Structure 1
């Protein structure tokens, strides 16, 4: 699309998306009128044209972001793009007005199958499975924090195998963190093998062993346990902890918001070029695309040249928020603070106070 329209990846407007879809104004209007929101807004070719060109759209309901928000999904379907691309293009196209409001994702309900699996377990097995799930969740948070702090972190396939027990006297090697969890629930070492292997037979966990060097016990054998997807679903259903639906479709994941927040915190000077690298750029950097034939990035940050004194040459490049990036932070900062409260957003209020 960037070749056909002259628009860099991650900077598309509403008209760019329509051109890429190969649709006329009349055809888009017809497709949108098939949706409840399209009928309520009385969509026409002239209204789509006004929308694309940043002009005021006739009709009182067009000024209500809750109503225009219902038009985003049908528009995304018509253009064959994700919802977040429509929201981003809308914000690039229409300055000085509130962007469409998307309804939050519904909290998914626990499946009857997962709940039946949980109820088939005895009390001891339920305790083990619940504590294994919580330990897995806590370890995942620790790994995420290590990556944010740019510390080395093992791959998920390594850390998800959690140490359950060490085949050596506890008076010498102590207890694993998972054992400490179980002990606080009144469950001690006897019966570990039979309980865990009963969970394994049901496909709720995977049990493995390895050998490690312990400073007090020498070479010892560890029993490792990894919760499966089925086990996680059963534990969540039984403990009343349904899966987090995640942020709304137009919002960033925890990982990507952390990256954008770092760039925002470096404004107005920008973040040094070598401090932002890796896969995140394929999702938020102007000119990037996730994979061959994949969707363009959101274009929230861009590499901007910094001229040497006197303007004789480019001294360096720095990452800065694009216009859309600044507006995205300004509009959704409070929501992100609630979603990802542990991410440092100190100093971003100045951006949030800016007018779109």
Structure 2
């Protein structure tokens, strides 16, 4: 990932990253549809530039949810704050956004920048130093949510979630009707065994220590402290014996 895209991505919170993933999916779907239409000859005479057809409706007038809002809901992002989130992403240079007249109201739409697409592509592909079998940052964030839920059901839908969690043998989660999940025993084991490693890979993810009561000192440090304690005790005993 280019330095600008990396810096912008590192500064995003979980909600903003969810927006970026959803917008990227819609951007790529539009690109694929455009290519398919062109290959079939349906748009041979259509010279509409990408700067226009890449715009994505995020919010439209009325009570009907857009496909972006529905996909965000699958990621458990439903709270207010569309405007502030889009503004933050625009300030980071990852998207453009605007309001346009639509019927009796106004629609909010967004368009990804090249930097935004580069950021998401690299985040999806791999984090620096990520090894085979390790989760991407967004899937680690979901596993953290599942761990925190402690067996309760959470919403975290999408084909990517199914591939990351259900296609593993054994699966890291159980599905309770799309898009609801609970953590599996294999998911708990993966969290416990991988927590320290993921803390290095994705330090921006607030993942609780799976063993908060564990002794933080390694065995070598404990032995050194024990040796020092014995030396101090022996010195004190020798001093007392001298008087």
- TM normalised by structure 2 equals 0.47
- TM normalised by structure 1 equals 0.33
